[in-house]
Structure 1
Amino acid sequence: MSVRITCAALSGVLAMLATAAAAGPPRTAFVTLGTMGGPVPDGHRSQPANAIVRDGKTYLVDTGDGTVEQMARAGLPLPTVRAIFLSHLHVDHIGGLAAILGLRNQTEARDVLAIYGPPGTRELVAGLVAGLQPSAKAGYGIPGKSWTPPENTVSVIELRDGETIDVDDMKVGVAQNTHYDFAPGSVEDRNYKSFALRFDLPDRSIAYTGDTGPSAAVERLASGADLLVSEMIDMGATMDRVARTSPNMPASVKATMVQHLTTHHLTPEEVGALAARAKVKAVTVTHMAGGTPDAARTRAYVATIGKSFTGPVAIANDLDRF
C-alpha cells in the first residue's frame, strides 16, 4: 500500500493518528478484494469486489468475478457474509455473485442473505436463482436429499437515490452517480441506475464512489468521510490494453468506448478534486482499468491526486486492508 503525505499536512495527519491510537484500532476494516476495472481480465488483479469487515461479520461491496477465491485469500469465510451491496449491474462488478449464491446453497446455508442494489437487482438475482435449480434439486445425488430451494436463501432490496437505510449497526447512504447518461425521469433512468454508497459505522465512515464520472451528488455523499474509496481511470493505459486485446475493434465500437471511458469515470485529477471538495480524511484508489501500474505510474497517480488533495493517498492492490 503506497501512502503520500505532504509536509503541509504532516502535523494534521500526526494529530489524527495520535487520536486514533488513543481510541484504539478501528473495529472496521475495508478490504479491496479485487481492484481490476473493466471487462478485460488482467491476470494480476481480480475484478471489482470489496469487503467491509467488522466484528467477525463481512459485508460485500460489489462482487466481481473471483470474489469467493479472494475472500478465502483474505481469510474471510463465506458464512460470515451478512449482506451484499451492488453499486451497479455491469458484469465486472457482479460476475462473482452466482458463485456466492451457489456455494452458499451447496453448503446448505439456512440464513437469508440480503442483497442491496439498484433497479434491476431483483431481475438479476431471479435469473441466478433460476439457474441454480437443477443443482439444488439433485443435491449431492442422494434420493430425497435435495438442497434448500435457492429462492429461500436470498432477499433483494432495490435501493433508491437519496435514501439512507440501516443495516445492523451501519447507516448506508445512497446517491445516484454519473456512470450512466440517461436523461433524468426517462424510462432508461428509472430502470438503470449506478450508485455511490456511504457506510457510516460507529468507529468510521467510508464513502465508495462505485463507477462514476465527476458528480456533485457523490461529493455531497462523501462529505467529511474518514475514507473515500474511489474508482480511477488512466485513459492512455486503458486504451493501450484495449488495442492489445481487441486489435480489430470496429471504429464505431471504439468511439463509443472512448465516450464512455472519458465521461463515466474519474481521472487522477478528478479524484483529487472530489476528495478535496468533499473534505475527506484519506483516499484509497481502486478499479485499475489500465492494469497494474509500475512504481513510476503509481507515484505519478499519487502526485497528481495530491495537487488538489493534501491528505493520505493509497493506490490499492488486491487484499489490501484500510
Structure 2
Amino acid sequence: MELVFLGTSSAIPTSHRNHSSIALKAFGEIFLFDCGEGTQLQMSKAKISPMKINNIFITHFHGDHILGLPGIIQSMAFRGRKNPLHIFGPKGLVEMVNIIRNFGYFSLTFEIYMHEIEDGIIIEAENYRISCSKMNHTVLNFAYSIYEKRRPKFIKEKAIALGINPGPDFGKLQRGIAVKVGDNIIHPEQVLGEERKGRKIVYSGDTTPSDQMLEFAKDADLLVHESTFEGKYGDEAGEMGHSTSVQAAEIAKKANVKRLILTHVSTRYKKSDILETEAREIFENSTVAEDFMQIEVER
C-alpha cells in the first residue's frame, strides 16, 4: 500500500503545493482521494494514469478538493475510456456530477456512477474495506478509512496431516472453501491459523479535532490529518473548521496510530518546519507531507 501526495496545500495553491489530492496504490488498483484543481497535471508528473483510476472519493465540496474533477473526467473521455468510473461523496454529489457532464463540449465515453454516502462501509471487497465517517467542518465533510483484509495463515502441515495433497485443494481452503477428502469434509478453520490484522489508513479531509476522528482513526497504521495552521492559531483554525499541527498530533497520540502525516498546509507557511516540530513534540512519528511525497505503509 503506497500513498502518493499529489496536492498538499489548503485553499490556494502555491508554486510548491497544489490543491488537495492523494492517490493510493493498493490491491492492484489506484484510488483517488479528493481532486483539487490541477490534479491531472500532478498525476502526469507522478506518472499515474487517470485511466487506471476506477474509484474517486471526495471528502467535501470546497473548490480546493473538487475543481479538478471536470478536467480529469473530460481527459478520460478524450482518451476513449470505456470502463465505468465510481465517484463517492456527500449528499449533492449527483447534482454536481450532472453539472460536470454538461460542462463544455465533449462526448462522455463511459458510465459514471455516483454514490452519495453516509457513515459506515461504502465498499466491501475481497481484499479490502472502505468506510467513511462525518467530521466537523464548515460544510459536510467525510473522512475515509481503508482497511486491508488479511486471510489467516494457511498451515500446510495441518492440511497434509488431514490427508490433503498439495494442489488446488490448498488454494480452496486458503480462500475459505471446504474440501472433501474421501468421506471427510475438511473445513478451512481446521487448517488456518488465527485472524491477522490488516493495514489501516485514515484520511481526515478538512475538520476540526473531534471524538469522531479519535474513534475512526483508532489503531490506524497511518493517519493523514489536515494541519492548516500551527498551534497558536487554534482559535482561527476552529472558526474556519480546521485543525492545527498540535491538535492533529494529539488525535494521533490518543488514537494510538503508528504514523501521522500532516497535510492541507496554509499558504502562509513557505516552510513547514514549525508544523512538524510542534507535532513531533506530542507525537514523535509525525511528518508534514510535500507534493509528490510517496509513503509505503508496511505491515
TM-score range, shorter chain: 0.7 to 0.9
Give the residue type in structure 2 aligned to 1:231. Answer: E
Supply the distance in 1 between the matched residues of 2:232 and 2:215 (Cα, whole angstroms): 30
Contact 1:235 1:290 in 2 (8 A): no
Question: How far 1:170 moved relative to its partner?
Answer: 2.4
| Matches for 1:174-185 after TM superposition, within 5 Å | 174-180=132-138
- Deviation per CA, 1:23-74: give whole Å up to 9, x if none: xxxxx10111100111x23122110000011255210000001111111111
Give the residue type in structure 1 aligned to 2:228. Answer: I
Is structure 2 residue 299 aligned with structure 1 residue 320?
no
The equivalent of 2:206 in structure 1 is: 211
In terms of mean alpha carbon deviation, does 91-100 or 229-238 score higher?
229-238
The equivalent of 1:198 in structure 2 is: 145
Contact 2:246 2:278 in 1 (8 A): yes
Query: What TM-score, normalized to structure 1?
Result: 0.71
The equivalent of 1:302 in structure 2 is: 276
Give the residue type in structure 1 aligned to 2:146. Answer: F
The equivalent of 1:224 in structure 2 is: 219
| Matches for 1:82-121 after TM superposition, within 5 Å | 82-121=54-93
Q: Secondary structure at the match of 1:272?
A: helix
Higher relative contact order (CA 8 A, sep 6+): 1
Contact 2:276 2:288 in 1 (8 A): yes
The equivalent of 1:242 in structure 2 is: none
Between Structure 1 and Structure 2, how many residues are aligned? 246
Supply the distance in 2 between the matched residues of 1:68 and 1:290 (Cα, whole angstroms): 21
Query: What TM-score, normalized to structure 2?
Result: 0.76
Q: Secondary structure at the match of 1:63?
A: coil
Supply the distance in 2 between the matched residues of 1:74 and 1:165 (Cα, whole angstroms): 26
Supply the distance in 2 between the matched residues of 1:32 and 1:41 (Cα, whole angstroms): 14
| Matches for 1:233-312 after TM superposition, within 5 Å | 233-234=228-229, 262-294=239-271, 297-298=272-273, 300-310=274-284, 312=285
Is structure 2 residue 127 aligned with structure 1 residue 169?
yes
Is structure 2 residue 101 aligned with structure 1 residue 129?
yes
Could you tell me which runs of 5 or more consecutive residues in structure 2 were left unpaired when the two chains were aligned: 150-197
Give the residue type in structure 1 aligned to 2:221. Answer: D
Could you tell me which runs of 5 or more consecutive residues in structure 1 were left unpaired when the two chains were aligned: 1-27, 137-146, 181-191, 239-257
Supply the distance in 1 between the matched residues of 2:54 and 2:72 (Cα, whole angstroms): 12
Contact 1:207 1:227 in 2 (8 A): yes
Task: Pick from 47, 63, 66 the counterpart of residue 19 of structure 2.
Answer: 47
Give the residue type in structure 1 aligned to 2:252. Answer: A
Supply the distance in 2 between the matched residues of 1:269 and 1:76 (Cα, whole angstroms): 33
Is structure 2 residue 117 aligned with structure 1 residue 159?
yes
Contact 2:231 2:244 in 1 (8 A): no
Supply the distance in 2 between the matched residues of 1:46 and 1:261 (Cα, whole angstroms): 23
Contact 1:36 1:48 in 2 (8 A): yes
Give the residue type in structure 1 aligned to 2:48. Answer: L
More helix, by proportion: 1
Question: How far 1:306 moved relative to its partner?
Answer: 2.4
The equivalent of 1:252 in structure 2 is: none
In the superposition, relative to structure 1, how do residues 97 and 212 fare at CA in structure 2: closer, same or farther (>3 Å)?
Answer: same
